[in-house]
Amino acid sequence: MICQECNQRPAALHFTKIINGEKTEVNLCEKCAQEKGEMFMFTGGSGFTFNNLLAGLLNIDPTVQKQNQNTFHQEEVLQCNRCSMTFPQFIKVGRFGCAHCYETFKEQLPPVLRRLHSGNGTHSGKIPKRIGGGIHLKKQVESLKNELKELIKQEEFEEAAKIRDEIRSLEKELPGSSKGGE
Amino acid sequence: MSLERFINQAVSSWMSEEGPDSDIVLSSRIRLARNFENFKFPTLFSHEEAQSIILKMEEILSESNFTKFGKMELLKIDDIQPLQKRVLVEKHLISPNLAEDSPYGAVLLTENEEVSIMINEEDHIRIQCLFPGLQLTEALEAANEVDDWLESHIHFGFDEKHGYLTSCPTNVGTGLRASVMMHLPGLMLTQQINRIIPAINQLGLVVRGIYGEGSEALGNIFQISNQITLGKSEEDICRDLKGVVSQLISQERSAREALRKTSNIQLEDRVFRSYGVLSNCRIIETKEAAKCLSDVRLGIDMGYINHLPKNILNELMILTQPGFLQQYAGGHLRANDRDIRRAALIRERLKMEQDKR
């Protein structure tokens, strides 16, 4: 088996990462493993911190890596204009610099967040009051729509009809949504 | 200072009061992570930004009349003595991270210590509510009230897709960490715990021993908390955790009953041996103390010991930590002196109950 990193040397290190029950096979040659900091697992406990672990996790993600390389080739590194955090930096430390980073890196984040949160990518909890009722309704409609899909899948059409009516009545309350659709 | 007075001053409500299922669940904790929208996160923020956050919190505290959880006091980490810091950590009121690595850190504490708000730790604000027994819903409600209060004064970083924006991507969304501390001697003695922990991990929950290093659970006390913060509502996170905890409670109860049936006398022997050690020892290490305290607590829960209050495990587990021992002694103690002090404190505490009879 060839190292998945350099595609040249034979892979010497094979292991499986399990994060939230999601398995990832990793096959690396010794050199790449060392460079990627994966060897810390085998060289004793020193430096085994949550940050390393997280950074390792972010690094191994093929999507993140592709984007990394792309930005490198174009010689422009994605950088937050409020706190100057760059995406490679974020990958390295595993911490954002400010709230605005989420906006700056929003294209890169979905695979990272899905990995950390068992496939979830969208908030469905509390919403600050100042942001207003619009979002609350929208969220409610979204979750009902998901429920509707499930019910249709299970062929529970009677229940589904009830949910559909509920969605319709909620959508009427939504500001600026009279045209329907998304 | 007399031991009784020291304990009265040292003990938070979660240690002294009983809650639902408190024969097995010691405490329930809710933590919410929040950040100011317009300041850099504590990993990057400047001295000025850190100061203005503390100033803002002081302002909110003095202006508003939020007394639902009693009077609140703001303590700056820099102003707290090292020993006191350690005590706050041992009481779970602040994190080790705030005590050691947060130069601009501060904490807002209520009188009964049920609510604490850490400032400038990994996130600008971390609201924490700690309740005795299994009271996740109640703790979440309390945390939400504190959150609503702060939110009426502060613009928190939030976006529709990602929810509450946090310094670490593992907390984003709800910013919620719900955890429950459980005493599970029955599952340990019957060795069922090794089978149960992996199963719980698969459900997106984390199990770890508290006080012990690594995975070792000192005193058979385990902490179970949620891992996922994004994509589930606060209520769902708590409900899922509560579901697992309830199952653990019933498994622990049946393990205890099984032990009573199969090895009643052995169990009774174990309990009273440990009681004997605690009431007679002259030197005792944390590990042994934790083991014996766990046995004695099990003995109380199962009716072998009747003259001791149930909360003695919660209380003594905390009071025999190094920071507390040194505070009680009034100064720094070396490790072997601590073991002597620990033994003395435990003996004296048990004698207090003997005298009450």
Are A98 and B207 spatial neighbours (Cβ–Cβ below 8 Å)? no
Q: For B286-332, what is each residue's pLDDT tens digit?
A: 889 999 999 999 999 999 999 998 888 888 988 898 888 998 888 88
Question: What predicted TM-score, i.e. pTM, was given to this entire model?
Answer: 0.78
Inform me whether the pLDDT recorded for A41 exceeds 60. no
Tell me the chain B residues in contact with residue A123 when contact means C-beta distances shorter than 8 Å. 160-164, 172-174, 230-231
Are A137 and A167 spatial neighbours (Cβ–Cβ below 8 Å)? no
- Asked if B231's CB is within 8 angstroms of A118's CB, the reply is yes
Partner B contacted by A161 (CB < 8 A) = no
ipTM: 0.83
How many other CB atoms sit within 10 Å of the CB of residue B81? Answer: 9
Are B118 and B95 spatial neighbours (Cβ–Cβ below 8 Å)? yes
Between B68 and A102, the more confident residue is A102
Most confident segment among A22-31, A129-138, A170-179, B336-345? B336-345
- Asked if A120's CB is within 8 angstroms of B231's CB, the reply is yes
Are B90 and B101 spatial neighbours (Cβ–Cβ below 8 Å)? no
Task: Report the residue of chain B nearest A103, measured CA to CA.
Answer: B159
How many other CB atoms sit within 10 Å of the CB of residue A99? Answer: 28
Inform me whether the pLDDT recorded for B130 exceeds 80. yes
Are B128 and B113 spatial neighbours (Cβ–Cβ below 8 Å)? no
- Asked if B227's CB is within 8 angstroms of A20's CB, the reply is yes
- Asked if A54's CB is within 8 angstroms of B43's CB, the reply is no
Degrees, nearest 5: CA angle B84-B89-B93: 100
Partner B contacted by A51 (CB < 8 A) = no
**Which of A92, A96, A131, A146 is the best mutation test for B, with the most CBs of B within 10 A?**
A96
Q: What is the mean pLDDT of chain B?
A: 90
Partner B contacted by A20 (CB < 8 A) = yes
- B314-340: b or e for each residue (b if 16 or more CB lie within 10 Å)? bbbbbbbbbbbbbbbeeeebeeeebbb
Task: Report the residue of chain A nearest B34, measured CA to CA.
Answer: A99
Beta-carbon pairs below 8 A across chains A and B: 123
Q: For B5-55, what is each residue's pLDDT tens digit?
A: 767 777 777 777 788 898 899 999 999 999 999 999 998 898 899 999 999
The encoded tokens of residue A150 equal: 């499930």
Gyration radius (Cα) of chain A, Å: 22
